[in-house]
Amino acid sequence: MKLHELKPGQKAVVRHLDVDRLPMKLVEMGCFPGSEVELILKAPLGDPYYLRIDGMPLCIRKDMAMQVDVELLTYGIHGS
């Protein structure tokens, strides 16, 4: 699934991101394959997204979130 499909409160692990289409800054802010993301909330108009990446807060727009592959984490069982 993609990052933008998360619901507030859900956690996931980043699987893949396309560096050709996404700015390097995203990686520099700690978002890369293997990092854990949590959607905290969405802005009132559904965009941007307020995330926590490995515990550190970050906001990105929906169009960017749509290009990040993630895998949903269910509590207790890590990455099935």
Partner 1 sequence: MEVKVALVGNPNVGKTSVFNTLTGLNQKVGNYPGITVDRKTGVSRMGDTLKVRIIDLPGIYSIQPNSRDEEVVLETLFDRHNTYYPDVVVVVTEVENLKRNLLLFTQIKDLGFPTVLAINMADQLPVKGIRIDLEALSEKLRTEVVLISTRTGQGISQLKAAISRYVEADKRPLLDLASVDETYFRSMDYKSWLTRSQGAVFEGVEPVSDGLSESEIKRLQQKETVRRYQQIGEVLKAAYTKDASVATGWQARADRLLTHRVWGYLIFFAVMMLVFQAIFSWSSIPMDWIDEKFAQLSAWVSATLPEGKFTELLAEGVIPGIGGVVIFIPQIAILFMFIALLEESGYMSRVVFLMDKLMRPFGLSGKSVVPLISGVACAIPAIMSARNIENSRERLITMLVTPFATCSARIPVYVIIISLVIPEQMVFGFIGLQGLVMTLMYFLGFLAALTTAWLLKMVIKARSRSYLIIEMPPYRRPLLKNVLSTMVEKTRAFVEGAGKIILALSVLLWFLGSHGPASTFGKAEETVIENFAGKNLSDDELQDEIEGYKLRNSYIGILGSGIEPVFRPLGYDWKISIAVLTSFAAREVFVGNLATLYNIGSHGEEETRIVERMEQERRPDGSRVFDLATGVSLLLFYAFAMQCISTVAIMRRETNSWKWTFIQIIFMTGLAYFSAMLAYNLLK
Footprint of partner 1 (CB under 8 A): 19-20, 23-30, 32-34, 40-41, 43-48, 50, 54-61, 63-64
Nearest approach, Cβ of residue 10 and partner 1 (Å): 15
Nearest approach, Cβ of residue 32 and partner 1 (Å): 5
- Best CA proximity match to 71, nearest among 37, 47, 29, 20: 37
For Cα atoms 46, 68, 21, give the angle at the middle one, nearest 5 degrees. 105
Nearest approach, Cβ of residue 1 and partner 1 (Å): 21
